[in-house]
Amino acid sequence: MRRIAVVLLVVLVGAGVALLFHFNGHPSTVHLGKDNPVELPTAAHLLIAAVLGAGVVLVATTLRGIAQGFSAWRERRRRRRADAVEKIRQEGRHRLWAGDFQNADKKLARAAERDPQDLETHLALSRSREELGDLEGAQRILETARAQHGPDPRLLSRLGNVALARGNAGAAIDAFREATAAQPESPRLLSELMAALAAEGRYPEAVEAARRRLGIERQPARRERAKQEWLAIRYRAAVANPEPKQAANELKHLAAEEPTFLPPILELAARARAEGDVRTADRTYRDSLRRHPSGPVLDRFQSLHTSSGEPARALGPLRDVCKKSGLAGPRLLLARTLVASGKLDEAERELAALSQESTARNRGAVDIAPERDLVAGELALARELDREAAKLLLRAATARRVPFSYSCPQCRRTVPEWVAECPCGAFGRYEWSVNGTDEVRVQGAKST
């Protein structure tokens, strides 16, 4: 079929050319120059023009094909190079995630050298330098990327954190401010700005940043965390206030606004105790216990009157709390206060009742909570039962945790004395630990 088609095409073309020469056989002259006339049949001139036109079209088509082929080759080459760079970049990020910072830095540096316009590579490379301890190198990388990409919020955030790690809170604040200006609805950037302002001691501005963050948080868990940070920065601002009266007023306002937030309450009472004002400290503790009984306040309240030589003054509020809650912690502290007040029989009855309840609750298990052993040891010591006292006090001292210690509900860290801030970042969250030695049950604001 193909040969027949070719033959037919040749026959048709030949017939067409023959007709063209038959009807246009008369000669005509074409001048190719001043003295170069060419005389050919008109049909020949027409045929030559058609061949030349077809040649031009063929050359143009060939050149276009060559150009397209070259462009496709360049595109394939560009893709191969991009794929190679992406492979190096991904391997570098994987090693960074795995903690292999040396090899991650090498891979990411190669990727950044081959593709200097990629922001993600610069961010990851700065992270690897930071993990290697080269904060100056991390900052140089970020500054170079900033010159190329402008005020990108992610870039500015990393730059601010590196500056903060280097101890340059002022530069960190500038970076975080620029980032929040570019993305004002970012809770994360506002949180970072707040931390930098607090590190610089600029607490009024830090409080405002925390307030803005609280206003835009929508997810419940994150909003609760933002609220805790807002309370914490307000507390720190009040404590840092050089004017004692203003600081006290700010602490009182914060305590009245958030009764479950203990740091301002304990700070106010501690300041009163430091000035020898037992009455004000007593009133502060009592007001807090009426609004929201908690282990740290009970402990401080009992310690206030025990140290002043009048432990019996703490009995009334302790009994009230025990009636309302029925929890073991306040009752153990009540028994300890009864021992200190000389009411030994009543203390013994309270301990016996707690022991029976603990035995029933634990299906016959022996109650060896360090708090109970401590109070029982103090009772035995008050009755001059030295051998029994030594046994009980030794057991309390060698228990898995310190009696009447405090536990963080976020990380479960236990400390012997109440502190405002936990290393995990929780602020004002330490609560009373009261139970046996097998597990830590937190008692405090949530329990009461």
Is the Cβ–Cβ distance between 202 and 170 less than 8 Å?
A: no
Share of the chain above pLDDT 70, in %: 86
How would residue 22 be classed by pLDDT, with cut points 50, 70 and 90? low
User: First vs last Cα of the chain: how many Å apart?
Assistant: 99
Tens of pLDDT, residues 75-109: 887 788 777 777 888 888 888 888 888 888 888 88
Query: For the ranges 9-18, 91-100, 221-230, which has the lowest average pLDDT?
Result: 9-18
**When comparing pLDDT for 48 and 104, which is higher?**
104
- The helix (run of H) or strand (run of E) holding residue 414 is strand 414-415
Is pLDDT of 41 > 90?
A: no
Is the Cβ–Cβ distance between 96 and 127 less than 8 Å?
A: yes
The position carrying tokens 């106010």 is 268
Q: Measured in whole angstroms, how far is the alpha carbon of residue 448 from the centre of its chain?
A: 31
Query: For the ranges 114-123, 186-195, 362-371, which has the lowest average pLDDT?
Result: 362-371
Tens of pLDDT, residues 227-246: 989 999 999 999 999 998 99
Tens of pLDDT, residues 357-383: 765 554 433 445 788 899 999 999 999
Which residues lie closer than 8 Å to 230 by C-beta, 6 or more apart? 207, 210, 211, 213, 214
Tens of pLDDT, residues 308-337: 889 999 999 999 988 887 788 888 999 999
Q: Which of 438, 144, 444, 159 is nearest to 299 (CA)?
A: 444
Which residues lie closer than 8 Å to 202 by C-beta, 6 or more apart? 173
Query: For the ranges 29-33, 57-61, 293-297, 385-389, which has the lowest average pLDDT?
Result: 29-33
What domains are defined for the chain?
Answer: 7-50 (no CATH), 89-144 (1.25.40), 151-240 (1.25.40.10)
Q: Which of 170, 211, 204, 207 is nearest to 187 (CA)?
A: 211
* Mean pLDDT rounded to a whole number for the chain: 83
